[in-house]
Chains A and B, each alone.
Chain A
Amino acid sequence: MIKNNFKIAWRNILKNKGVFLLNILGLATGITSCLLLTLFITDELSYDKFNEQSDRIARVVFRGKVGGEVMKEAVVMAPVAQTLKEEFPEVADATRIRRVGTPKISYGNTVYRNSRFAYVDPNFFEIFTLPVVRGNSVNPLGEPNSIVLTRDEARKYFGDTDPIGKELLVGENHEPFRVTAIIDKVPENSHFHFDMFASMLGYLPAKGTSWTKSDFFTYLLLNKGTDIRSVENKLPSVVESHMGPQLKDEIGMSFADFTKDNQIGLFLQPLTEIHLNSDFASASELEQGGDIKYIYIFGAVGIFMLCIACINFMNLSTATAAKRAKEVGIRKVLGSEKIQLVYQFLTESFIATCIATVIGILVVILILPLFNDLSGKAIDLSFLLQYRVWLLLFLMIAGISLAAGAYPAFVLSSFAPVSALKNKFFTGKGTKTLRNGLVVFQFVISAGLIFATLVVGRQMSYIQNKNIGYEREQILVLRDAYLLGNNQTAFKNEILKDPRVKNITTSSYLPAGPSNNSMSGIFLNGNYQRRMFYYDVDEHYLPVMGMELVAGRNFSKDFGRDSLKIIINETATEVLGFKDDPIGKTLVRDTDNGGEELTVIGVVKDFHFKSLHQQIDPLILRNNPYGGLILRTTVADMSGLIESIRGTWNKFDSGEPFTYTVLDDSYRETYHAEQKMGDILRIFALLTIFIACLGLFGLVTFTTEQRLKEIGIRKVLGSNVPQIVTLLSKDFLKLILLSFTIAFPLGYYFMDRWLRDFAYRTEMAWWVFVLAALITMLIAMITIGFKSIKAALENPVKSLKTE
């Protein structure tokens, strides 16, 4: 019987190749997409879980609101780790990371500035699972100035020779570090990636006792079974007892007074939530994380696609029901039980699903590199070796063949034999409602996704085109130019001779991309206000960046050194209460030696020096030139200029490599994550619509087939082609219109939440809804039109003869 079922199924498939191909195409697309999205989501969810103790590790973070400034820091103060370990029995151990960027590192003549370097506490490798593959695996960082490298990094400096015991010179002062161990690498799905881990034992700031300076990523290893929240609840008292006295010394306010208007505190963040649930600014976080919202979005899209593909299957199967009805009738007369027919139809959907799944897997294997490129992941084919993937595939096949085959199986098999033989079966009102419901569902999702894609696209172009307060095009950044030391001025003068270079400013502060980042506490009339961002620039900064001065004057050589003069942005005038007459006002900046008084000489128009996710913060620019060079050029294509500057750089023979960034690229890089997600969303939205249209096509086929006789009669009575096309498409268009009324409110709700993540955003104008509706309508019309025009053109004699 089973063999027979397979045989019949196969012959039916061959006989209805068209419908079968539509089915397979839709299903395979759905399965491919679903698999890819599953891989993506699984990868995102796997972050930091490679750590054997991942469920017991929590990071201590700092949050607060001081003087209107929202403070979110993934780093905390140096003594926090030791203090918590000593005061709480629940804390089994604590370890810290102090990131140092990419300092100069040399070994003999080999010099690099691209090794990601961090100081970590000696117990670091006991808490994080990064097994030592070579060297001292017991306590590699137990001595001051010991260092652990990744395998690739060791090869970079030492080639094939044994790295253990070798010495690397770190930083401009050439501090020696001895290699004690090699680890394989930090897994891709870790929230930090360093190439070098140096022992914190000899690192002085690690012994700091200040509770007001945050620099250390701090991780606690909790005892088994400890509730993170119960530890977190005890943190406020720790903050008060340790931070309180120091705060009083610094700003002259008791902790109780301070916390009347301000909130500060330490909180715990489970390790496994760092990647997806972190809201720390990228400057504060170790690495740009993912976003749980996208996990939900992609998860939903994946499930939707499968649903839509299943619905297609059902609709396309009912479309061929007319052809199968006779067979059902005969089989029943010949003695078939209903259940045997159900099995037969399920066998067919099972075969189709299996074929689609195989195609899906093959396509996934083929396009995985492309998908990795798109999503920025490094998923490899080894996922096929996981039993969980096969379990998922098995469940998917079972689920889809059941879901997709059930409707035709149960509806077709319940036809009464006599009416089936006469081709006079009706699918009752219930099934029609169900089918309509399914179409509406498909188009709710399609229209919703089209709408979402449009909104994301608009926000992206808003970001690209928004007036951000400076001119980011044609700016070349040489952040490492300070490495030339005393030769920097000569270098600067040399490249200024190039007519393509319009102007140069000296500063290490940039509104996009890698930049120095400083904040200072500000006092007004002896009262502590809040911290403010702080830029050290020179008199060329505003003209080079194309920033606009709205009041006062720029720094100028004509006024002497101008070193205690500042320019503030518009937001700062508001925050400081200088709005009406800012020029000449003074404020005091907190410094280690009691503070310095600064006088406002100008106001710069607000510019976005953080991503558009954030409101513009108050900013102080001070005339204090040092650091790298920023060039305003006259050319759009800078490659030629860069080559000639590289030549000039090499003439100075500093032994340092020439590096540069293009500001516009850095700006775009800021929104890379959104761009990436937007791209993925667009592709899957298109695929979803494609599948939905396959389904619509099938359904139009179904109704057209059922109404073939009606069409024939109407034509004989004198109806023309447009009238018949209207007749056939009217009902579908009604359904699609109905789906808009569900899709758009839903779309509005979700996209509004997405947009709220941007402090600066486009609004969802009425025409976006109209455009989404038109696109959906157009796609649907093309799909419907194709089939119904064909039916309308048919010779009526043919359709009438079938009776």
Chain B
Amino acid sequence: MLLQLNNIFKWVNAGGQRTFLLKDINLTVKEGEFISIMGPSGSGKTTLLNVIGMLDGFNEGEYHFMDESVHQLKEKHRANLYKEYIGFVFQAYHLIDELTVYENIETPLLYKKFKSAERKALVADMLDRFNIVGKKDLFPEQLSGGQQQLVGIARALISKPKLILADEPTGNLNSKQGEEIMELFKQLNEEGVTILQVTHSEKNAAYGSRIIELLDGRKVSL
């Protein structure tokens, strides 16, 4: 078991009324799974992903990640946890505009205080693997959307995470680029990386081994 959510509730108080963003979510993810989260706009997909990624908190419930009880951890420990084990891929890629492809991929290693030689080797491997060696000195704006997302995934993978959280990774891409990215995810999953993706597309969801459907913050049992 990689992570487990027990009776997670998240809400906001607006105008004297409590609006639930997540309602009684129970979820167990085992290592090596490839899960797709689906649901209409506003159903809480991204919120759930952020909660799992520890970027966002929750109001009630228990969250176990590996052997840690996330709900009991302090902010700082939580941050350390996700930095260690989780890689993020975003719909809008979220590359740093001021950095080159090479530097974007390198950044997480800098924060993990890897030695320069080590960084070089790891980034070079990654560039090689994604076949973007020739683009390493380009800036994000000089790349196509698919290429940017490729860099985004490379960056998420560089620190060898156990879990990849992808929030509509193909949302901004055309169908051909999207397909390539999904193929890549599939391949990664086969190599042992656990993947949780949010998607609108049935076709993309089908790449996963399991689909979780959300509606108004609730898990809809299939």
Give chain A's interface residues, CB within 8 Å of chain B. 1, 4, 8, 11-12, 15, 326-327, 329-337, 340, 416-418, 421
Q: Is the CB of B111 within 8 A of A335?
A: yes
**Chain A residues within an 8 Å CB radius of B97:** 15, 327
Cβ contacts A to B, 6 pairs, < 8 Å: A1-B110, A15-B97, A327-B97, A329-B94, A332-B79, A333-B53
Closest A-B pairs by Cβ, 7 of them: A335-B83, A335-B111, A11-B98, A334-B108, A418-B55, A330-B94, A336-B111
**Chain A residues within an 8 Å CB radius of B95:** 330
Q: Is the CB of A15 within 8 A of B98?
A: yes
Max count, chain B CB within 10 A of own CB: residue among A4, A11, A330, A334:
A334
**Chain A residues within an 8 Å CB radius of B53:** 333
**Chain A residues within an 8 Å CB radius of B50:** 418
Q: Is the CB of B90 within 8 A of A8?
A: no
Q: Is the CB of A8 within 8 A of B98?
A: yes
B88 within 8 A of A: yes
B43-75 with Cβ < 8 A to chain A: 50, 53, 55-56
A421 vs B90: C-alpha distance when bound (angstroms): 10
What 1/0 mask marks residues of chain B from 95 to 131 whose CB sits below 8 Å from any chain A CB? 1111100010001101111000000000000000000
List 20 extra interface pairs beyond A329-B94, A421-B94, CB under 8 A.
Answer: A1-B110, A1-B113, A8-B98, A8-B99, A12-B98, A15-B98, A326-B94, A327-B96, A327-B98, A330-B95, A331-B107, A331-B111, A333-B88, A334-B111, A335-B111, A335-B159, A336-B111, A416-B55, A418-B50, A421-B90
Q: Dominant SS at the A interface?
A: helix
Interface size on B, residues (CB 8 A): 23
The smallest C-beta distance from A527 to any residue of chain B, in angstroms, reads: 90
Question: A340 contacts which of B103, B111, B159 (Cβ < 8 Å)?
Answer: B111
The smallest C-beta distance from A7 to any residue of chain B, in angstroms, reads: 8
Q: Is the CB of B98 within 8 A of A335?
A: no
B155 within 8 A of A: yes
A610 vs B90: C-alpha distance when bound (angstroms): 82
Give chain B's interface residues, CB within 8 Å of chain A. 50, 53, 55-56, 79, 83, 88, 90, 94-99, 103, 107-108, 110-113, 155, 159
Q: Is the CB of A417 within 8 A of B55?
A: yes
Tell me whether A330 and B96 are in contact in the complex, defined as CB-CB below 8 angstroms, given that A418-B55, A421-B90 are known contacts: yes
A329 vs B50: C-alpha distance when bound (angstroms): 13
Question: B108 contacts which of A8, A11, A327, A335 (Cβ < 8 Å)?
Answer: A335
Max count, chain A CB within 10 A of own CB: residue among B79, B95, B155:
B79
A331 vs B88: C-alpha distance when bound (angstroms): 11
A340 vs B107: C-alpha distance when bound (angstroms): 12
A417 vs B56: C-alpha distance when bound (angstroms): 9
Q: Is the CB of A4 within 8 A of B110?
A: yes
**Chain A residues within an 8 Å CB radius of B99:** 8, 11
**Chain B residues within an 8 Å CB radius of A330:** 94-96
A340 vs B56: C-alpha distance when bound (angstroms): 21
Q: Is the CB of A333 within 8 A of B55?
A: yes
Which of chain A's residues has its CB closest to B88's CB? A333
Which of chain A's residues has its CB closest to B156's CB? A334
**Chain A residues within an 8 Å CB radius of B96:** 327, 330-331
The smallest C-beta distance from A331 to any residue of chain B, in angstroms, reads: 7
**Chain A residues within an 8 Å CB radius of B113:** 1
Which of chain B's residues has its CB closest to A330's CB? B94
**Chain A residues within an 8 Å CB radius of B110:** 1, 4
**Chain B residues within an 8 Å CB radius of A337:** 111
A8 vs B100: C-alpha distance when bound (angstroms): 11
**Chain B residues within an 8 Å CB radius of A334:** 83, 107-108, 111, 155
A336 vs B53: C-alpha distance when bound (angstroms): 15
Tell me whether A335 and B55 are in contact in the complex, defined as CB-CB below 8 angstroms, given that A11-B98, A421-B94 are known contacts: no
The smallest C-beta distance from A333 to any residue of chain B, in angstroms, reads: 5
**Chain A residues within an 8 Å CB radius of B88:** 333
Q: Is the CB of B90 within 8 A of A335?
A: no
**Chain B residues within an 8 Å CB radius of A11:** 98-99
The smallest C-beta distance from A15 to any residue of chain B, in angstroms, reads: 6
**Chain A residues within an 8 Å CB radius of B55:** 333, 416-418
**Chain A residues within an 8 Å CB radius of B56:** 418
Which of chain B's residues has its CB closest to A421's CB? B94
A336 vs B94: C-alpha distance when bound (angstroms): 15
**Chain B residues within an 8 Å CB radius of A416:** 55
The smallest C-beta distance from B97 to any residue of chain A, in angstroms, reads: 8
A166 vs B160: C-alpha distance when bound (angstroms): 94
A333 vs B92: C-alpha distance when bound (angstroms): 14
Which of chain B's residues has its CB closest to A327's CB? B96
The smallest C-beta distance from A414 to any residue of chain B, in angstroms, reads: 12
Which of chain B's residues has its CB closest to A7's CB? B103
**Chain A residues within an 8 Å CB radius of B79:** 332
**Chain B residues within an 8 Å CB radius of A418:** 50, 55-56
Which of chain A's residues has its CB closest to B94's CB? A330
Max count, chain A CB within 10 A of own CB: residue among B94, B95, B103, B112:
B94
A492 vs B195: C-alpha distance when bound (angstroms): 112
Which of chain A's residues has its CB closest to B139's CB? A11
Which of chain A's residues has its CB closest to B106's CB? A4
The smallest C-beta distance from B187 to any residue of chain A, in angstroms, reads: 23
The smallest C-beta distance from B56 to any residue of chain A, in angstroms, reads: 5
**Chain B residues within an 8 Å CB radius of A327:** 96-98
A416 vs B56: C-alpha distance when bound (angstroms): 9
**Chain A residues within an 8 Å CB radius of B94:** 326, 329-330, 333, 421
Max count, chain B CB within 10 A of own CB: residue among A11, A12, A329, A340:
A11
A417 vs B79: C-alpha distance when bound (angstroms): 11
A326 vs B90: C-alpha distance when bound (angstroms): 12
Max count, chain B CB within 10 A of own CB: residue among A330, A331, A332, A340:
A330
The smallest C-beta distance from A615 to any residue of chain B, in angstroms, reads: 69
A379 vs B56: C-alpha distance when bound (angstroms): 61
**Chain A residues within an 8 Å CB radius of B159:** 335
The smallest C-beta distance from B10 to any residue of chain A, in angstroms, reads: 12
Which of chain B's residues has its CB closest to A334's CB? B108
A334 vs B108: C-alpha distance when bound (angstroms): 5
Max count, chain B CB within 10 A of own CB: residue among A331, A335, A337:
A335
**Chain B residues within an 8 Å CB radius of A15:** 97-98
A12 vs B98: C-alpha distance when bound (angstroms): 7
**Chain A residues within an 8 Å CB radius of B83:** 334-335
Which of chain A's residues has its CB closest to B159's CB? A335
A335 vs B107: C-alpha distance when bound (angstroms): 9
**Chain B residues within an 8 Å CB radius of A329:** 94
A332 vs B113: C-alpha distance when bound (angstroms): 15
The smallest C-beta distance from B48 to any residue of chain A, in angstroms, reads: 13
A329 vs B55: C-alpha distance when bound (angstroms): 10
A332 vs B159: C-alpha distance when bound (angstroms): 14
A337 vs B90: C-alpha distance when bound (angstroms): 20
**Chain B residues within an 8 Å CB radius of A332:** 79
Which of chain A's residues has its CB closest to B98's CB? A11
The smallest C-beta distance from B203 to any residue of chain A, in angstroms, reads: 27
Which of chain B's residues has its CB closest to A337's CB? B111
The smallest C-beta distance from B54 to any residue of chain A, in angstroms, reads: 10
A618 vs B111: C-alpha distance when bound (angstroms): 83
A483 vs B110: C-alpha distance when bound (angstroms): 88
A437 vs B197: C-alpha distance when bound (angstroms): 47
A1 vs B107: C-alpha distance when bound (angstroms): 10
A11 vs B103: C-alpha distance when bound (angstroms): 13
A8 vs B79: C-alpha distance when bound (angstroms): 24
A152 vs B82: C-alpha distance when bound (angstroms): 79
A616 vs B26: C-alpha distance when bound (angstroms): 96
A333 vs B113: C-alpha distance when bound (angstroms): 16
A8 vs B112: C-alpha distance when bound (angstroms): 18
**Chain B residues within an 8 Å CB radius of A421:** 90, 94
Which of chain A's residues has its CB closest to B116's CB? A3
A1 vs B99: C-alpha distance when bound (angstroms): 14
A335 vs B53: C-alpha distance when bound (angstroms): 12
